[in-house]
Structures are given as structure tokens and as C-alpha cells.
Amino acid sequence: MQGESLGFIFLNAAVVNNFVLALFLGICPFLGVSSKKETAWNMGLATLFVMLVSSMSAYAINWVLGELDLMFLRLICYIAVIASAVQLVEMFIKKFSPSLFRSLGIFLPLITTNCAILGLALFQTAKEYDFVQSVVYALGAGAGFTLALMLMAGLREKLELADVPAVSQGAAMSLMLAGLLSLAFMGFAGLGA
Amino acid sequence: MAGLPNQTEKLSLDTFLRGLWEENPVFVMLLGMCPVLAVTNSTMNAIAMGLATTFVLVASSVLISLIRNLIPKQVRIASYIVIIATFVTVVDYAIQAISLDLYNALGAFIQLIVANCVILGRAEAYASKQRLHTTLVNSLGMGAGFTLALLSLGTVREVLGNGTLLGYAVMPADFQPWVVMILPPGGFFVLGAWLLLFAWLKQRRDQRLLQQEGAPHAG
Amino acid sequence: MSDIASTPVAQNTLGFRMVRTLGAIAMLSGLLVVLVFQFTKPIIAENQRVAIEQAVFQVVPGATSRSDWVLTDSGLATSGSDGEVIYAAYSGDGELKGVALAAGAQGYQDIVKLLYGYDPSCQCVRGIKILKMTETPGLGDKIAFDPAFLANFDTLDARLNGAGDGLANTIVAVKHGRKTHDWQVDAIAGATISSVAVANAINRSLQRAAPLLQRELDRIRTQTNEGGAD
């Protein structure tokens, strides 16, 4: 969509249509790495970076495939580029911060199968964003993802001290919390109108 | 993946049933949650998504099992992803050809099957190590389990949120729909409620087992 | 290629095996995708044609056939050019019944996309169909089916102004029950933002399209193949 202001695109991706709480993208890492605030923060940043790289690459892929009239190979190209971007981030983190590498664990390579990233590439294509809009969209989506992760981590740190029935501990409780967060985020709807 | 033998597995009924219950990808392993939550606001969407995912799961597992000895270890993930993406593209075009309405309702989530961890998880943990026929049966079971999970969310959300099932009214006329159920929070709540139910059932079963074991000792 | 393959050393190196495997998989998958794409392409195109036609005939009452044109800033161009695709719709005897145009605006949750029918002879909107929205079920989503709301668009006034470069009256949504003029849209109570989005989308689109269409009316008045039908 032409003519959408950049500020609105950012806000839309970050809160109104938050990737985790409104569009259900990236639930696995959302539930998996949100038990500590520090890990959540780092995971959020790593995802944000991969999102930026993938968003720009997706824009380039669209252009190349459009020129060659090979749009049906789009999905395969996206996922290949995302996988490489994740490898890059993984090597980078492993070299510069082994402790962070250990704390993210299996969830780092799993960014590849984080649907938030592939979703970002697909949505920006569907919305026909130009290059700058795509980058802003990626930044907003990454910021929204980090925000959701941090909120969840903060809640779960408190929850560890709370006295909940044993049967509801774990995933069930996290999902209920996520539902409440999602309910709260619905209040952001209408911001753009 | 606890309890999964490393050597090749003998084909048994359990190969199929495990995916439905004991190792249900959604309720037990908590994998592939994104589509489970996103497209289950109606039963029809849930069925379509379940079938599409099952097809990709079975086709890619079978192919990977067939060529498992030809793929060098270092490039296995890349190979799996390319294979999965291929089948997803196939499904994507097939659904567009079958029904545009369905395609529009599922939106980007068909293409997002690529990023469904259930499929890559199966490829890595099972198909790359097991023979063809066990892989086929196991992936069918996993797909059925996944579809079952989608259905159990889709029906509850549609009945409560819209008062209908597959588009037909099932609730009394004066039923006020719980709109929140078909909105995003409803997805989290219903899945949370199902997990709670299963946890409660498991707890009760464990307690009963404990009592049964405890009884003879006491006597 | 065959030289390398025949030397046993090269055959056994890991690098060669990796490249060979990945290459083979990529080629196979490419082949499969192309086959499926070629097979489904005509079916998908047909599905899309039916979907477009249904929508066009719904927003332009009395239409039974259509031809596609492209609206650019300088006027109409033949189908296939760059620009906004519009659909001229004709009755059975080839008379222009109206033009269907796509429009979109930000709604409550996300963009609302719709198709509306513009009748150049009465200079009014004759019908709308919501194509895509994620408005709140039970409230905002009524814009798609609420009969009282849709009645706004049976004959929504969209006359040109004196200069002929825009609409005489801005199409606006007013609060439920406050509609006094034919160019106003009576909003749904409890779904004002969604109703405003619909009015804004049509207004923005028509402010640009109506003058162009009126100027080029002769080219689309009768059905020709110039625009390119199906």
C-alpha cells in the first residue's frame, strides 16, 4: 500500500498488529525463551537483526524473481536466505559472546523456523511495501517481538514466586498469561484510524 | 524426544498412535503452535490447515527417509528445508486451485507451514533415521495428531465465539456469542484450557497409579 | 564434470558430495514446483476470474460482462499497463452499467479493502463489497453485511464539482442517525471507525477516478475489445 506513513507502519507492526500477540507468529520462542528477562532481551535483539537482514533480502529476492518471472520460487528462496542469515548471527554470537550463545541454546538455530521472520517477508510482499517501508516494518516487527518477549519474561519471573495450583504450572499458565497480554494489546487497535 | 529408540524401529500400531496421544506434537511437545493458534477461529480452516500440514509432513518425511543415506550430515538441515519448502509451494498452489475463498481465509499461514517446527522436527528426529514404511506410518500419525489438535481448538472457538459449527448454527437462538473466542486472546485461552485439562488428567492418573502401587505394600 | 566424477579422490571429498546432493535436491524441487505451477496456473486464473466477476457484478447491478482497463494519472490505458486496474461492467446488450474500482483505507485493526461500483450516468456509487478486512467480529465486521449500512451505497451521491477536477461533496461518514445528504454515509453504531474507513476509501478513490472516468467516458461507453476482456 503506497502512502502509509513510516511512523504508522512501525506502530502497526510493533503494537496494533503485534507479531506475537495479534498475529500468532513466533510462539515457540515466545514460550521457550521468556523465562528470564535477560535472555528474552538478547533473543529479541537477535531476532530483530535477522528480521532486518531477511526483510532486505526478501525485497531483493522479489525484485530479482520479478525480473526473471520466477515468482513461484519465492518461498524456497526466502527460507534459504533466512537460514543463512541465522547461521551468520549464530557464528557472530558464538565468537563474541559464548555465554549468550549457551543461554540461547537450541532456540538460536530455531530462529530459522521462527515463523515471525518468514511471516515478515511474506507480509511485506503482500502489502507491497517499498524498500524503506520494508525496513521500517522489520524494525517495528522486531521491536514488537522484543516487547512481547520482555513483557512475558517479566510476568513469568513474578509468577515463579506466586502460589498457583501445581496442575496449572508450566505451559498452560504461560498461555493464559499470553491470552491476557493479547487482550491488553487489543486496546491498541484503532490507533491508526 | 524421550523414549525414541535410536536404532530402526519395528512397525507397530504404536508407531501411528504415538503421534495422536503420547507424543502429540501440539499438546505434549508444544511444537507448531503458530498455525494452531492463528487459523483455528473456524472449524473449516482448522481442517484445511490440518490436511495441508499432514500432506507436507508425510511427503517430506517419506522423501527424506528415502534419500536419508545420500545426504551428508553437514547439509542435512538445508536439504530438509528445501524439500519442505518445495512441498509447501505445491500445497500453496493446490489450495489456490481448489478454492480461492479458503486460500484467502488461511492467508499467509499456508506458506508459513515451512516454518512449522513439527515438520523439521520429524525430519531430523525420525525420518532421517528410520526406514520408509515406519516413517510413513509415523508421520501419518503425527499429522493426524496435529489435525486433531487444530480441530479441538477450532470447534471450541467456533461454537463459543460464533455459535456455529462448520457454518451451521448449533447454539440456541438467544445465545450471545463470546466474540473474544475468535479473536486472538481466545486462541491462547482455549489452548491453555486444553493443556490444563490434560495436565489435570495426567495428575489424576499418576495419583491413581501411585495408590495402586502403594496398596500392596501397606497390606 | 565427468572428469571430476571419474577421479575417485574428488568423488569421495565431502565438499563434492555436499554440492552434488544439494544440487540434485534443488533441481528436483525446482522441477516439481514448475510442474505443479504449470498445471495449476490455468485453474487458478479461472478461479480468480470467477471471483473478480462475481464481485464486479455484485457492485454494479445489472451487469453481465466486463472489460478491464487501467487508470493512470493521464487517463485510461489498455489492460496490462502499469496502474490501477478498473473493471467496466456492461449489461447483456453491451450498455455500460458502471465501473468497478478497488479502494482501501486504514480501519480499526488493519487495512479495509473493498470494491465499489461507480455509475457514470447518475454520478453515484451503486454498491460495495468488502474484499478483505480484520475488523472486530460482531462490531466492525458489520460493514460487510449490515443491510442498513449497505443501503447507504445504493445511490451514494458522487457528483463532480463545477471545475470537474474532484467531487462536489466530500463523501464522509456521519454518526449513526445523522445522515442528511445523499453523499453522507450513515455509520454503524459501535463501528464508527470501520464505517469511516469505508467512506474515506471510496472518497479518496473517487476524488481521483471520477474526473478521469467522466473525461474518458466515450472510450468505455460501449463494450469493445480495446480494453481487453478476459
Touching C (3+ Cβ pairs <8 A), the chains are A, B
pLDDT confidence of residue A34: 78
Write down the mean pLDDT value for chain B.
Answer: 84
Asked whether residue A107 is assigned to any structural domain, the reply reads yes
Q: State whether A193 and C111 contact (CB < 8 Å).
A: no
Number of domains in chain A: 1
- Alpha helices (runs of H) in C123-216, residue ranges in sequence order: 147-150, 192-215
The pLDDT of residue B11 is 77
pLDDT value, residue A186: 84
The model's pLDDT over A54-66, given as tens digits with 9 standing for 90+, comes to: 999 999 999 999 8
Distance CA A97, CA A95 (A): 6
Q: Supply B22's cell numbers.
A: 503420547
> Residue C225: its pLDDT value, please?
53
Provide the pLDDT for residue A35.
80
Identify the closest residue of chain C to B176 by CA–CA distance.
C138
Of B96, B179, B182, the CB nearest to C40: B96
Q: Which of C30, C37, C193 sits opposite A193 (nearest CB)?
A: C193
User: What is the C-alpha to C-alpha distance for residues C219 and C230, in angstroms, rounded to an integer?
Assistant: 18
What are residue C76's phi and psi, to 5 degrees?
-90, 145
* CA dist list (Å): A77 to A124, B112, B114: 15, 14, 12
Region B170-199 average pLDDT: 86
Instruction: Say if A170 is an interface residue toward chain B (CB within 8 Å).
Output: yes
Is the four-CA dihedral B108, B110, B111, B117 of positive or negative sign?
positive
Inter-chain Cβ pairs, chain A and chain C, closer than 8 A: 30
Task: Name the band, by pLDDT with cuts 50, 70 and 90, for residue B116.
Answer: confident
pLDDT 10s digits, B33-80? 888 888 888 888 899 999 999 999 999 999 999 988 888 887 888 888
pLDDT in tens, A23-56: 888 887 888 777 888 888 888 888 898 899 899 9
Sign of the torsion formed by the C-alpha atoms of C124, C130, C132 and C133: positive
Tell me whether residue B51 is exposed, middle or buried, using C-beta atoms within 10 angstroms of its C-beta: 0 to 12, 13 to 18, 19 or more: middle
| Per-residue pLDDT at B29 | 79
The pLDDT, as a whole number, for residue C12 is 61
Q: DSSP for B12-34?
A: -HHHHHHHHTTT-TTTTT--SHH
Q: Three cell numbers at C120?
A: 457514470
The predicted structure's pLDDT at residue B144: 93
Kindly state the cell numbers that stand for B84.
519442505
Taking contacts as CB-CB distances below 8 angstroms, the residues of chain C near B83 are 25, 29
pLDDT at C4: 46
Buried b (16+ CB within 10 A) or exposed e, B98-133: eeeebbebbbbbbbbbbbbbbbbbbbbebbbbbeee
C12: closest chain B residue by CA: B72
Higher pLDDT, C228 or A33: A33
**Segment among A70-74, C1-5, C39-43, C215-219 with least mean pLDDT:** C1-5
User: What average pLDDT does the segment C105-112 reach?
Assistant: 84
C1 pLDDT above the threshold of 80: no
Segment C67-84 shows an average pLDDT of 81
ipTM over 0.90: no
DSSP secondary structure letter of residue A1: -
- Taking alpha carbons only, the member of C117, C91, C121 closest to residue C205 is C117
Residue C36: HSE in the Cβ half-sphere, 13 Å Cα cutoff: 19
- Could you read off the pLDDT of C7-48 as tens digits, one per residue? 444 456 778 888 888 888 888 888 999 999 999 999 999 998
Residues paired with residue B168 on neighbouring β-strands, in sequence order: B165
Question: Cβ–Cβ of B199/A170 closer than 8 Å?
Answer: yes
- pLDDT of residue B3 exceeding 70, the answer is no
Give the mutation candidate from B188, B194, B205 for the A interface (greatest A CB count, under 10 A): B188
Give the residue-averaged pLDDT of C101-127.
88
Return d(Cα B22, Cα B54) in angstroms, integer: 18
**Domain extent for A167:** 6-191
Q: Does C205 touch chain A (CB under 8 A)?
A: no
pLDDT value of position C40: 92
Residue A120, in any domain of the structure:
yes
Residues B143-172 as b/e (b if ≥16 CB within 10 A, e otherwise) read: bbbbbbbbbbbbbbbbbbbbbebeeeeeee
The residue-averaged pLDDT of C66-73 equals 85
Residue A83: which of B38, B81, B116 has the nearest Cβ? B81
Which among C21, C32, C137 has the least Cβ separation from residue B70? C21
Q: What is the mean pLDDT of chain C?
A: 84
pLDDT band with cut points at 50, 70 and 90 for residue C229: very low
B218 pLDDT tier (thresholds 50, 70, 90): very low
Q: Are B110 and B88 in contact (CB under 8 A)?
A: yes
Q: Does residue B9 have a pLDDT over 60? A: yes
Which residues of chain A fall below pLDDT 70? 1-3, 192-193
On whether the CB atoms of residues C45 and B98 are closer than 8 A, the answer is no
High-pLDDT (> 90) share of chain A, %:
21
Span C51-60, pLDDT tens digits: 988 999 988 8
